Amino acid sequence: MAKSTPVKKAWRSLSWLGAIVVVLLGVLTAGVIWGNATWLPKLALDLEGGTQIILAPQVENGQTVQQQQLDQAVSIIRQRIDASGVSEAQISTEGSRNIVVSLPGTPDQATLDRVKASARLDFRPVLATSGPTNEVVGADGKSTPAPSPAPGLQSTPSTKPTNGSDLAWVTPELQAQFDAFSCTTANLENVNQAPTDKPLITCDDAKTVKYLLGPVEVKGQDIKDANSGLAQTSSGVSNGQWAVNIIFNDAGTKAFADVTTRLNGLQGAQNQFAIVLDGKVISAPTTNAVITDGRPQITGNFTEATAKTLADQLKFGALPFSFKVQSQDTISATLGSTQLMSGLIAGAIGLLLVAIYTFFQYRLLGFVTIISLVVAAVLTLLTISLLSWHYDYRLSLAGVAGLIVAIGFTADSFIVYFERIRDELRDGRGLESAVEAGWTRARRTIYASKATNLLAAIVLYVLAAANVRGFAFTLGLTTIIDVIVVLLFTHPTLQLLARTKFFSTGHKASGLDPQALGAVYRGAAQFRKPTVTVSAGKAASSGKEAARRQTIAERKAAELAGASASSSSTSSDRSTEGKDS
């Protein structure tokens, strides 16, 4: 005998759920065997401890550090750390000068380098260079030949420089220093503290090309945004070449327009504009157009990775001043395993209370709730562990609180669904029909409720402080998983249980007993009372149970029916009384 359509749908849904679990488990298993994944999610700073780095600002003599500058530096360093995928990091100021960066666990070297390389970003015109470049500042995506060193340095005029590209900056002494300068032996540790209004001799970050640069003409703080992508021609067609796109603010747009207007008319190395991070040249593109809209594009021999690296350096490197690592220490957990255990115990107590309530209210139907919660817990654990491995997500105590709160929210979905089924049973439907009709009614309510929960989690994640985001994230994640479990497990399970004798006959222990629910049965377009004879005590008990579970509409209908019956009875009595007289 062929299975009915609801049964086929039920097994199909359960198969999809099983496939999801197998895929998640398989990916995590592969990560544990061949990667650095773990079966359990990584813990955040408050539960595991980590590494603390104290950064001290490096300023010129007489320069003071403003609180606004420190706040700006904290914001940029936080963006850098977030871009590296580290979660639940803490960045704050210490006193009026230092910045404290606390990273959970043992961060990798790339993350530490990203934090330590918290330097000043500047744009300087190139006066001379010992090596080539093939990058371009412009919008047409064309590469130009590598320029040669700027001519005429030996006969530098002695007049006062009029702009950053004026060769009057190059005195005989400076020329001698540049000729004697060697990138392989030079110490560039403190070069980022050089005055911004004077020339600078430095190298690229690979120490293969040396540069003689003019004074700073555009500050890194004027960069509004930077990103990487495939360059496009003037007709909007991609040429397959990776590019870095920069967006300046108003001040940067004006300054960059003035500089490119001058550089576009120069030749050789003087046509280049160096981007200097931490005192080292990270890029020195040539200028082939006047950029007046504040949106230059750098193209050249980029790969996807190198283009993204340069874009990140431009976007997150614009600190008001450079920093020096004052100390780096391992710190213990601020809360520790005791608080984690307390949170887990609280979750277990909450789960136990939910189990007691569901068994008391729904008898053995409560097993569906408990198993659904277990399935939701498995999906949540696998998902968080994968996020912890792939995106370095960290589970904080606030995140644990979000998981505990989710137990109640998840149970709400099952209660709504069960009550809709009971309403259909009271209306005289059979169990299979009640399951389908109840699901149609409950589904809209569940979706609306979960959409509200998810929206609240998103708003909280976006607007709340960093230590509350863990709560918002786990709350939003469990909300999505809750919908998946109800769709792919709870409803299909009830579709299958509705065909079993125990539940379909309304066993007293099933939680779906029609007599206890006060159900009526459909006849030929009529309602009729149950034909089963019960004792007076049981009938009274069933009546009380039915009255207690009536909806508002059902109560009003019963009151109107009672009032109508009373009115008819009174009228009949009066008629009889008149006849007797």
Residues 356 and 440 in one domain: yes
Percent of the chain with pLDDT over 90: 19
3-state secondary structure 42-55: CECHHHHCEEEEEE
> Which of the four pLDDT bands, split at 50, 70 and 90, describes residue 452?
very high
- Assigned domain for 251 exists: yes
Residues 78 and 125 in one domain: no
CATH code for the domain of 344: 1.20.1640.10
Residue 272 CA neighbour count, 13 Å, CB half: 31
Number of domains in the chain: 3
pLDDT of 491 higher than 90: yes
Tokens matching residue 222: 């004027």
For 31-63, what is each residue's pLDDT tens digit? 999 988 889 888 887 777 788 888 888 776 666
**Measured distance CA(51)–CA(329) in Å, rounded:** 6
For 113-122, what is each residue's pLDDT tens digit? 777 765 567 8
Residues 112 and 26 in one domain: no
pLDDT of 2 higher than 80: no
Residue 159 CA neighbour count, 13 Å, CB half: 6
Per-residue confidence (pLDDT) for residue 552, from 0 to 100: 55
For 155-193, what is each residue's pLDDT tens digit? 444 578 888 888 888 888 888 888 888 888 777 766 666
Mean pLDDT of the chain: 78
For 216-256, what is each residue's pLDDT tens digit? 998 888 888 888 888 877 677 777 888 888 899 999 999 99
**Measured distance CA(32)–CA(25) in Å, rounded:** 10
For 80-95, what is each residue's pLDDT tens digit? 777 666 667 788 888 7
Residues 297 and 267 in one domain: yes
- Assigned domain for 513 exists: no
Residues 150 and 172 in one domain: yes
Residues 401 and 448 in one domain: yes
Structural domain ending residue among the three candidates 68, 100, 116? 116
- Assigned domain for 552 exists: no
**Higher pLDDT pick, 108 / 164:** 164
- Assigned domain for 459 exists: yes
Structural domain ending residue among the three candidates 95, 116, 137? 116
Tokens matching residue 374: 């277990």
Residues 361 and 481 in one domain: yes
Range of the domain at 168: 121-318
For 512-555, what is each residue's pLDDT tens digit? 877 777 665 444 333 334 444 444 454 554 555 555 555 555 56
Read off the pLDDT of each residue in 287-313 and give the average, rounded to a whole number.
84
Residues 265 and 139 in one domain: yes
pLDDT of 363 higher than 50: yes
Give the chain's end-to-end CA distance (angstroms, integer).
70
Residues 504 and 363 in one domain: yes
**Could you give the C-alpha distances from 239 to 142, 235, 297, 305, 495, in angstroms and in order?**
10, 11, 14, 18, 56
Residues 138 and 205 in one domain: yes
Per-residue confidence (pLDDT) for residue 523, from 0 to 100: 43
- Assigned domain for 542 exists: no
Residues 67 and 126 in one domain: no
Tokens matching residue 430: 């059979």
- Assigned domain for 6 exists: no
- Assigned domain for 357 exists: yes
Per-residue confidence (pLDDT) for residue 546, from 0 to 100: 54
Q: Which residues contact 376 (CB under 8 A, 6 or more apart)?
A: 406, 410, 478, 481, 482, 485
**Could you give the C-alpha distances from 302 to 136, 207, 281, 306, in angstroms and in order?**
11, 19, 16, 6
> Which of the four pLDDT bands, split at 50, 70 and 90, describes residue 334?
low
Residues 159 and 298 in one domain: yes
**Higher pLDDT pick, 316 / 180:** 180
pLDDT of 136 higher than 60: no
**Could you give the C-alpha distances from 143 to 124, 270, 276, 455, in angstroms and in order?**
21, 17, 21, 47
- Assigned domain for 528 exists: no
Structural domain ending residue among the three candidates 285, 318, 351? 318
CATH code for the domain of 104: 3.30.70.3220
- Degrees to nearest 5, angle at CA 285 with 157 and 175: 30
